[in-house]
Structure 1
Amino acid sequence: MNLMVLGGGQNVGASCYFLKLGKSNILLDAGIGIDKEGLVFTPNLHALKTSPFINSLSQIDEIFISHAHLDHVGYLTHVATESTQANTYMTAVTKALTKYQLYDRVYSNANARELERLATKSVLDRIISVTYAKTIKFRNYSATFFPAGHIPGAMMILFEYRNSKILYTGDYSIANSPLTSGCFDFSGFKIDTMIMCGLHSKHSSYAKNQNGIYKTIEKIYKQIFLGRSVSCQVNQLTKGVEFLKLLNDFNQQDILIYVDKNLLNVIEKLEIPILHENVRLYNSATVSDAPHICITSKKVTKSKYYNMNIDFSLHVDFSEIKNFVTKINARHVYIVHCEKPFSLNDHDIEQAVMRESDCRSQFIFIDNQEIYRL
């Protein structure tokens, strides 16, 4: 059993992990990243092709996608096109969101290159939808899928190979959110190895501000009370859906809420019943003169709006990570998708749990292109 990180090791973006179980070659996620200059970066597939394991992506047997954020799925079209023998597995909700992000938005332009469009559509049409708690038996291992929380459709994958249990978490959440419940409780599963996306595993000082988003909503409705319309720009469409759900929960006076086409498409893909009578499609020419709220993926430049950038974390904080790894208590925890410490005073998750008397976990912070035998 071997693990190789192709992207998204001790950094965020371009998550892609090669897992070898005997003769089976597996890819976990296939994302893109964007650096500080706004340039897109991708997994290092060349490193895999020149590794001891394979020399062509045609030797990949299966691809598993944990969820539909672009840092985990944005490079799927390229990877799956090269992986001619591989099937791709994800939940039905993730498939719908992936199709929207990689096809519907990209190829809505009639001038899009036809061959590229057809190739992308072919890849997405071949995706196999899986359901939670379902086990699929492959050549020499089995995979079972569990809810991960985080966003709708996100899944964790439990691999069983010979006498070993290997859990890939993807991004996950423990607490319930407006759109999804927390992740599955693996207590008693006796996990041997965990490959954990641990964004805040080196941030002992980080704790989520649970009331932050509610203060933001309070500020929005205060502006409405003062007679001003508010434009809310969201940086991720799934966050926009969650934000709309919260706004509606606190909308006591049926204030009109306009959403742009991108957000409306995601709501329809998720089939979430949050389109109340007060929710309308945003069109700058037909919006009401009365104070209202706009939720858009791009900033509204009209002067009559009070502009706000809406952002809140869908990731677990340090305390939640500690509770999670302590409960699972895997023998080996390989931490990926991990940002560097915020400050010199921050310690990592290994330092936080090493004094726990019943902790048996060994932590490995695995970086890009590193290879470990599990």
Structure 2
Amino acid sequence: FEYGGRKILYSGDYSLHETPLTGNCQIPDTDIDILILCGIHAKHPRHSAVSESLKYQKYEMLYYLNSGYNIYCYVPQLSKGVEMLTLLNTQLSEDINIYIDEKIYAVVGGLENLNRQILRKNNYCLSSQTPPSGRHIILSTRRRRSVPVWYKYINGDFSLHDSFDETIDFIKKVNPKMAVIVHSPGFDSPAVETVEQYLMFDAQCRTQFIFPEEQQLYILG
């Protein structure tokens, strides 16, 4: 939007890449004066891309399934459960049953009512009336301290936010005059490289950075 003669872009929760359920962001075809950027990983170079995290979890599941185990996959958020289900449905054969707890299943049902096809014939709502059978994966929002010996427990947590490298790529593509990095936890330390420190050595980057503290007011001059 434009305000006071400035073109301001607020990124919200964005991503340069697609996931099975979420499309990628669109880079505006205009010069941006001020970018207000969600920088969850702007101070965390160690974080990898979400696509790599999901890929690793998928291969981990396949390894254990091929080794004769079933999978109990804990997902801490309903939206992540839907993302994981969509990924598994596109990557796994239908001879592997997927049992979904009632909370995730309800969200999937709501999306299906909006003409978003997600469920396949090997997807079932987990309940006492449908005990798991055959080679299978259980997707659940319930964290378990232990599982039976014929299961492998997998933490299905992942971030849908861009990684450190992808955050840098996004800033370079937009190339604003100023970037206000919000929602960026982490300690300021000379040992931890931030996106600002990285881009200081990029001759093509014209961006000045502000990392606001929580509850501090800033006037964008």
Instruction: Look up the match of 2:172.
Output: 326
Offset, 1:358:
3.5
Runs of 5+ consecutive residues of structure 2 not aligned to the other structure: none
**2:201 paired residue among 351, 355, 360:** 355
Instruction: Look up the match of 2:103.
Output: 262
Instruction: Look up the match of 1:194.
Output: 35
**1:218 paired residue among 41, 44, 59:** 59
Give CA-to-partner distance per residue, 1:178-232, whole Å, 9 cap, x none. 112210112x411111111101111234333744433322332333344432211
Instruction: Look up the match of 2:73.
Output: 232
Give the strand-richer structure, 1 or 2. Answer: 1
C-alpha contact (below 8 Å) 1:259/1:279 kept by paired residues: yes
Partner Cα distance (2:158, 2:180) in 1: 26
Offset, 1:258:
0.7
Change (3 A) 1:317 1:252: same
Normalising by structure 1, report the TM-score. 0.53
Letter in 1 for 2:122: N
Normalising by structure 2, report the TM-score. 0.86
C-alpha contact (below 8 Å) 1:335/1:363 kept by paired residues: yes
Offset, 1:268:
2.5
Give CA-to-partner distance per residue, 1:308-364, whole Å, 9 cap, x none. 211222111111111111221212211110021597522111111123333322101
Give CA-to-partner distance per residue, 1:99-122, whole Å, 9 cap, x none. xxxxxxxxxxxxxxxxxxxxxxxx
Letter in 2 for 1:290: G
Change (3 A) 1:261 1:343: farther
C-alpha contact (below 8 Å) 1:234/1:309 kept by paired residues: yes
User: Equivalent residues in 2 for 1:156-171 (5 A)?
Assistant: 159-171=1-13
Partner Cα distance (1:218, 1:367) in 2: 39
C-alpha contact (below 8 Å) 2:50/2:162 kept by paired residues: no
**1:311 paired residue among 141, 157, 175:** 157
* Secondary structure in 2 matching 1:340: coil
Letter in 2 for 1:182: N
Instruction: Look up the match of 1:288.
Output: 132
Aligned residues: 215
Change (3 A) 1:362 1:344: closer
**2:44 paired residue among 203, 206, 209:** 203
C-alpha contact (below 8 Å) 2:172/2:205 kept by paired residues: yes
Partner Cα distance (1:294, 1:270) in 2: 20
Partner Cα distance (1:314, 1:330) in 2: 23
Change (3 A) 1:260 1:191: same
C-alpha contact (below 8 Å) 2:19/2:51 kept by paired residues: no
Identity %: 37
User: Equivalent residues in 2 for 1:164-179 (5 A)?
Assistant: 164-179=6-21
Offset, 1:172:
1.0
Instruction: Look up the match of 1:298.
Output: 142
User: Equivalent residues in 2 for 1:1-374 (5 A)?
Assistant: 159-186=1-28, 188-208=29-49, 210-271=51-112, 272-299=116-143, 303=148, 304-341=150-187, 344-374=190-220
Farther-moved stretch of structure 1 (307-316 vs 352-361)? 352-361
Runs of 5+ consecutive residues of structure 1 not aligned to the other structure: 1-158
C-alpha contact (below 8 Å) 1:231/1:299 kept by paired residues: no
